[in-house]
Amino acid sequence: MHDLVLKGRFIIGGHVLKGSIGVDGAKISRIALHDLNGRKTLDLRDHIVLPGLIDTHVHLRDFEERKKETVESGTKAALHGGITAVSDIPNTKPPVLDSKTFEKRLELFRRKAYTDYALSFLMRDNCEEARKVKADFYKAFMGASTGEVYSENFEADYSCSPGVLSVHAEEAELIKEKPQRPPEVEERAIERALKVARKLRKPLNVCHVSTSGGINAILRENLPWVSFEVTPHHLLLTKKDYEKNPLLKVYPPLRSEEHVRALWGNFSKIPIIASDHAPHTVEDKERGSAGIPGLETEVALLLDAVNRGIITVFDIVEKMHDNPVRVFGIRGRDFEVGNEATFTVVDLKREWTVKPEEFYTKSKWSPWEGRKLKGKVVMAILRGRVVMEGDEIVGKPEGVRLNVHRG
Ligand SMILES: [Zn+2]
């Protein structure tokens, strides 16, 4: 007799398994093709059960920007969107540039996080502090985004980062000349980052790749220690959408169709899809802040793409679970007996309309407002407990820090 039994269709290792999962405590204790007995049973046969999805690029603000988002509102938004673990990006106010601020961030997540989390540390000429903190990953900006902090010596910051370095690749010098940030601003930064990566041979993750030149350069180099992310907004929106709606200002900017086509043309080779959830108040957006909220739409947009025959549900699991786990060294998350019973449950057939007023994020707008989507996240299970069901967050902030292998 298990504590909990899930009955349904499960995506495990690139296959669909029809059967039952036994859960005891926080862990998966049995995977079976037949029915299992449980003190509690969840009949999910109309749904699909995915391993708990992970978003490797999320800005949760808080600290002095609680108006824009808090760890509480942002991680509730994540659960609502089917994300069971988030990677926090450190360009907060104040930024996470020293061990004291890192400890504060950690304490905040311990008290307030509804999802599991990985915490990062911002690299900028602060090697000593970086070695002290034992962050789950590190972040560098080659040019400023929100928060103005960027590396003056990218190679030195990359070289001394003690773990995986996620990099925002836009050239600071070129941004000064070309504030509209045309494709070359990213393409040149990516080429420079790759050149350093070839020399240093240590883990690098290029964030939100948006250009044809950028993705092609990474794929051409094909360095096994270099990974990259693409956002749903760079896949699904273009520069034309921005020209119609100035709220779609984001760094790197939305691109012309030629670049969007290059991303889709290489879709199978994109390792990670991450939202770059970047919440601002609507007033701040109207004043020109860059960033798009994405936590509550990303999985649904991908499910809708599955329904339109563009991608498969296996792509979602690969790019939002399997590869994040591999690239960032996250342990205990594979869909296996003995691992954490953390799942994202989706209904591929459910049709719904995007209504930002129903979001948990404080950023109550969306590029997809009013859009009808087919496919919805209906439940999230965190270590054996249902924590989100039918748009409701159930329970307390029970997120824990991911078990990251730090080199
Ligand atoms: Zn970002």
Q: Looking at residue 96, which CATH number applies to its domain?
A: 3.20.20.140
Average pLDDT over residues 8-23: 95
Contact 60, 25 (CB under 8 A): no
Q: Judge if 240 and 363 occupy the same domain.
A: no
Q: First CA to last CA across the chain, in angstroms?
A: 39
Q: Judge if 88 and 132 occupy the same domain.
A: yes
Q: Judge if 43 and 74 occupy the same domain.
A: no
Q: Judge if 192 and 321 occupy the same domain.
A: yes
- Out of 328, 357, 385, a domain closes at 328
CA of 57 to the centre of ligand 1 (A): 6
Angle between helices 71-80 and 99-112 (to 10 degrees): 50
CA of 92 to the centre of ligand 1 (A): 11
**Can you give the pLDDT at residue 149?**
83
Q: Judge if 93 and 145 occupy the same domain.
A: yes
**φ, ψ for residue 303 (rounded to 5)?**
-65, -40
Distance CA 312, CA 307 (A): 8
Q: Tell me, what CATH number does 377's domain have? A: 2.30.40.10
**Can you give the pLDDT at residue 144?**
67
What separation in angstroms does the CA of 342 have from each of 26, 123, 137, 271, 386?
8, 31, 22, 21, 9
pLDDT band at residue 146, thresholds of 50, 70 and 90? low
Q: Judge if 25 and 123 occupy the same domain.
A: no
pLDDT band at residue 68, thresholds of 50, 70 and 90? very high
Listed in sequence order, the residues at least 6 apart from 199 whose beta carbon sits closer than 8 Å to its beta carbon are none
**Can you give the pLDDT at residue 328?**
98
Residue 402, in any domain of the structure: no
Residue 224, in any domain of the structure: yes
Distance CA 126, CA 75 (A): 29
pLDDT band at residue 145, thresholds of 50, 70 and 90? low
CA of 2 to the centre of ligand 1 (A): 41
Structure confidence by residue, pLDDT tens digits, 260-300: 999 999 999 999 999 999 999 989 999 999 999 999 999 99
- Out of 275, 307, 328, a domain closes at 328
Average pLDDT of the chain, as a whole number: 96
**Can you give the pLDDT at residue 143?**
77
pLDDT band at residue 147, thresholds of 50, 70 and 90? low
Residue 400, in any domain of the structure: no
- Does residue 231 carry a pLDDT above 70? yes
Distance CA 125, CA 191 (A): 22
E strand or H helix that includes residue 374: strand 372-382
Average pLDDT over residues 8-27: 96
**Can you give the pLDDT at residue 247?**
95
Average pLDDT over residues 206-212: 98
CA of 131 to the centre of ligand 1 (A): 23
- Does residue 236 carry a pLDDT above 80? yes
Overall domain count for the chain = 2
What separation in angstroms does the CA of 97 have from each of 69, 109, 157, 313?
20, 17, 12, 38
Q: Judge if 94 and 75 occupy the same domain.
A: yes
**Can you give the pLDDT at residue 226?**
98
Pairwise pLDDT comparison (144 vs 83), residue with the higher score: 83
CA of 357 to the centre of ligand 1 (A): 23
Amino acid at 196: V
Q: Judge if 225 and 122 occupy the same domain.
A: yes
CA of 278 to the centre of ligand 1 (A): 7
**Can you give the pLDDT at residue 148?**
72
Structure confidence by residue, pLDDT tens digits, 261-272: 999 999 999 999
- Does residue 407 carry a pLDDT above 70? no
Structure confidence by residue, pLDDT tens digits, 304-347: 999 999 999 999 999 999 999 999 999 999 999 999 999 999 99
Average pLDDT over residues 196-222: 98
Structure confidence by residue, pLDDT tens digits, 375-400: 999 999 999 999 999 999 998 999 99
Residue 405, in any domain of the structure: no
CA of 326 to the centre of ligand 1 (A): 21
Domain of 33?
2-50+338-393
Q: Judge if 58 and 205 occupy the same domain.
A: yes
**Can you give the pLDDT at residue 98?**
97
Residue 403, in any domain of the structure: no
Looking at the annotation, which residues are catalytic? 276
Average pLDDT over residues 124-149: 89
Residue 333, in any domain of the structure: no
Distance CA 147, CA 315 (A): 33
The rounded radius of gyration (Å) of the Cα atoms in the chain is 20
Residue 43, in any domain of the structure: yes
Contact 327, 27 (CB under 8 A): no
pLDDT band at residue 256, thresholds of 50, 70 and 90? very high
Q: Judge if 294 and 342 occupy the same domain.
A: no
Distance CA 272, CA 141 (A): 19
Q: Judge if 46 and 58 occupy the same domain.
A: no
Q: Judge if 271 and 179 occupy the same domain.
A: yes
**Can you give the pLDDT at residue 140?**
97
- Does residue 100 carry a pLDDT above 80? yes
Smallest CA-to-CA distance from 190 within 142, 158, 150 is with: 142
**Can you give the pLDDT at residue 395?**
85
